[in-house]
Amino acid sequence: MTKDGVQGAAEETDQAQSKKGLKKQQKEAEKAAKKAEKQAKLAADQQTTDEDDFAKDRYGVSPMVQSSQRLDRVLVRVQELTLEKSDQLIWVRARIHTSRAKGKQCFLVLRQQQFNVQALVAVGERASKQMVKFAANINKESIVDVEAVVRKVEQKIESCSQQDVELHVERIFVISQAEPRLPLQLEDCVRPEGEGDEDGRATVNQDTRLDNRVIDLRTTTSQAIFRLQSGVCQLFRDTLMNKGFVEIQTPKIISAASEGGANVFTVSYFKTSAYLAQSPQLYKQMCICADFDKVFCVGPVFRAEDSNTHRHLTEFVGLDIELAFNYHYHEVIESITDTMVQIFKGLRDKFQTEIQTVGKQFPSEPFKFLEPTLRLEYQEGVAMLREAGVEMGDEEDLSTPNEKLLGRLVKEKYDTDFYVLDKYPLAVRPFYTMPDPTDNKYSNSYDMFMRGEEILSGAQRIHDAQLLTERAIHHNIDLEKIKAYIDSFRFGAPPHGGGGIGLERVCMLYLGLHNVRQTSMFPRDPKRLTP
C-alpha cells in the first residue's frame, strides 16, 4: 500500500473512533438527564406526598427517651386487653412480633412478654397510605407505642393470646428500633419439636438459642418457664416462712470442699487458695447449732463436674432446708415433702397459663403427686428393679438409667411422679450422714424424685463431734480444714437433718422438659461460660 493509502485508512479509523466516543458521551448525557429528571420527580412526589399526608403527625420514630419529659399517659398491659375494654381508646407499648401488609391495610401482632394481640392499621380518616406503609416497614422486635381503639372481633383470633379483641391503630411511634436482621426468628424458636421437620420450616438448636439468649428469652415459652420458676422460689419461701423457718445467707467462698469430694472449683484467695461452695451444708448446720431451729436459703451452688448431660450444670440455684427434729428424722422428710406438695399445688392453681403455654411447644403429661408423699426404702426400690430384670448389688448406688426405670415402675404401681427413696447405703453418702442405728451398711438418708430423676438429696446429719471426726477420717478429709465445722458440735447440738433441691431440675421435671438448660436463664456447664 502507498504512503497516501496508509494515511487515509488511519484517518477513517480516527473518524470512526470519534463517532463512537460522541455516541457514548450522548448516551451518558441522556442517562444523567434521565436520572436528574427521576430524582426531581421523586423529590416533587415526596413534597406532594408530605403535603398530602394528613396523618404525618400520627406516626414516626420518636426521639430517644432520655427522661427529658414525663408524659401524662397511661399504658395498658396487653394481658388486660379483653372485651371489657371494647370501644375504648387506649395506649399500649409492645414489640412488633410480626407484620403483614395487604393492600391499603397492615396487620401487626404486638407482643408483650407472653401475651400478644392483633392490631390493624388501615387507610381511613385516622391513617394515611403513608402511615400504613410506615407501619408495614417497622423492623420486627422494635418497641412501639400505639394509640388504638379496642374492637371486638367476630371470629376468635386463634394465633394470639388475646383472642376476642383487636386494636384499630390511630397512632404509632417507634420507641426503640431493632436491627433489620435478627440472629434467630422467634416463630422458629417456639415451633413444637418435630413440626418444623415435617414441612421444611426451621427450628432452632439449643446452642443457637443460648448464644442469642436475650432474644430466645423473649419467646412466650421462655417467658412462661421463668415466670413459673419465679413462682417456685416464691412458693418455697412462703411455705417455709409459714412453717416458722428463717431465711439465711451463707458464704460461697470457703476454705474446704463442702462435700469432701474432688468436684470443686479452686479460686485464688490472696496468698492462698479457696473453694466455691458445693453446698451451704456446713453453714446450715452451724445455724441449727446456734439455735435457729429451722433455716433455709436460696443461692448459687457450684459443682466442678465434667458432666455434659441433660441434667448437669456447673452452677445452679440451690433451695436448701435444714431443721432440728425431736425424735426421728422422718419428721424432716415429712416437712420437706409437705413443702414440695405445697409448691406443686401452688403451681397447679396459680400458673395454669404458663403451664399451658409451655405445653404448646413441649407437650407432657400433667405432673402427679400424692398426699401424703409416697416413701419407699432403698431395698424396696432395688427389689422393684430386680423384678424388672436389673442386676445390681444391695449397696450399689442407683445409675441414671435405673433411677428413670424406677420412676416409671413407681408411676405404674402408685400413679405418682413424686416420691422419696429412704435408707440409702452409707458407702454412697457424704461423711456427715448419720448411719442407720440397726444396720451400719445403710444410713438415715434419702433422695426425692420427680418423673424418675433426683431433685433432692438429704439426710439426718451427725450431730456428735466424736462420730463426725471418725467419719471424716474414714473419708480422708483434712480435719484441720473442717475444724470450725466439727467444733460447732462440741457445745451441744440438737438432732437435725435437711436437704438440697436443684431449682432448675424442679422446673424442668415439673414441666416435662428434656434439658436443664431450658430452665437455667444463663446456663453454666463444662462447655459454656457465656453469655
Mean pLDDT of 424-434: 93
pLDDT digits (tens, 9 = 90+) for 437-469: 999 899 999 999 999 999 999 999 999 999 999
Please give the torsion angle defined by the CA atoms of residues 480, 481, 484 and 489, in that order, rounded to the nearest 10 degrees: -80
- Over 70: is that where the pLDDT of 19 sits? no
Using DSSP's 3-state secondary structure scheme, residue 243 falls into coil
Which residue did the predictor score with more confidence, 372 or 32?
Answer: 372
> Which residue do the cell numbers 433455716 mark?
295
> Which residues 6+ apart lie within 8 Å of 256 measured at CB?
275, 477, 478, 481, 482
CA distance 282 to 268: 22
pLDDT digits (tens, 9 = 90+) for 464-497: 999 999 999 999 888 988 888 899 999 999 999 9
- Over 60: is that where the pLDDT of 528 sits? yes
Q: What grid cell was written down for 317?
A: 440455684
pLDDT digits (tens, 9 = 90+) for 185-220: 998 999 887 665 556 677 899 999 999 999 999 999
The CATH fold of domain 73-176: OB fold (Dihydrolipoamide Acetyltransferase, E2P) (2.40.50)
pLDDT at residue 283, rounded to an integer: 93
pLDDT digits (tens, 9 = 90+) for 161-186: 999 999 999 999 999 999 999 999 99
- Over 80: is that where the pLDDT of 10 sits? no
- Over 60: is that where the pLDDT of 229 sits? yes
**Residues involved in catalysis:** 303, 305, 311-312, 454, 457, 505
Domains 73-176 and 221-518 share a fold: no
171: number of CA atoms within 13 Å, CB side? 13
Which residue did the predictor score with more confidence, 262 or 272?
Answer: 272
Domain 221-518: top CATH class: alpha beta
**pTM (2 decimals)?**
0.86
531 preceded by a cis bond (ω within 30 of 0):
yes
pLDDT digits (tens, 9 = 90+) for 363-402: 999 999 999 999 999 999 999 999 999 998 888 999 999 9
**Kind plus residue range of the DSSP H or E element containing 382:** helix 378-387
- Runs of H (alpha helix) within 415-493: 465-474, 483-487
Instruction: State percent of the chain over pLDDT 90.
Output: 80
Residue ranges per structural domain of the chain = 73-176, 186-218, 221-518
**Kind plus residue range of the DSSP H or E element containing 400:** helix 400-414
pLDDT at residue 388, rounded to an integer: 94
Read off the DSSP letter of residue 487: H
Using DSSP's 3-state secondary structure scheme, residue 528 falls into strand
The strand pair at 445-450 and 418-422 is best described as antiparallel
pLDDT at residue 30, rounded to an integer: 79
What single letter denotes the amino acid at residue 22? L
